[in-house]
Amino acid sequence: MLKMDGVTKVYRTDVVQTYALRNFDLDVKEGEFVAVMGPSGSGKTTFLNIAGLLESFDSGHYFLDGENVSALGDDKRSRIRNERIGFIFQSFNLIPDLNVHDNVEVPLRYRRMKSGERQQRVREVLEVVGLASRMKHLPSQLSGGQQQRVAIARALAGEPRVLFADEPTGNLDSLMARQILDLLEGINEDGTTIVMVTHDSELARRAHRSVHLLDGQLMDPEVTVLGAEHGEATASP
């Protein structure tokens, strides 16, 4: 599903170069729910941006759904993002002037999907997240947890192969956070691969396995051994 081999990303200025990722290896199998953990500045956001084809890298190889996406052009990367990838952000990233229905519909319009098909798909995913009765509400009329569920519905609308979640409960209280994780677990059980970046060990325990980043490299070999015992693909520093 997702395989990175020796991926390195360097940010350069006139006087300094900083390694955000250094010889980074990760293998996520289809249907897994993987938590990526690490302190601020460890490379989590860079990893997520590269994995989601939002950012390029300097060396190494990246295979997504069996395709080498290491050197694709912008148009092809955009098409893969729209057709195979879903994103959930900490800040929800909803369009404030659009109601729930229209926020969820936005990525489907980019696919040039027919109107009737769009409407059916929007209704289906809003049912999944329990917000079908709120489809005419604006984001400002919803709680934080409801806004995040709209963001999840928007991510699911395109039936992605993999869902990338960046601190998906970071702006929520503990009750809402548990509800969002319950929802993500259900989505994963239905077959969607999930890669979640989080600093919260409680949330990470809900995933199938965790990998830990420090200074752009994977740590915690114990986690790798545990994954191997269960027959899962593993990552090594």
Query: How many Cβ atoms sit within 10 Å of the Cβ of residue 205?
Result: 10
Q: What's the chain's average pLDDT?
A: 89
pTM higher than 0.85 for the full model? yes
Superfamily name with CATH number, domain 2-229: P-loop containing nucleotide triphosphate hydrolases (3.40.50.300)
More confident: 221 or 161: 161
Give pLDDT tens digits for 61-98.
Answer: 999 998 999 989 999 999 999 899 999 988 899 999 99
pLDDT, mean of residues 109-120: 90
Using only C-alpha atoms, what is the Rg of the chain?
Answer: 18
List the structure tokens of 151. Answer: 């963001």
pLDDT, mean of residues 25-49: 94
Taking the C-alpha atoms of residue 105 and residue 113, their distance in angstroms, rounded to an integer, is: 10
Q: Is the pLDDT of residue 35 over 50?
A: yes
- Percent of the chain, pLDDT > 70? 92
Q: Is the pLDDT of residue 186 over 70?
A: yes
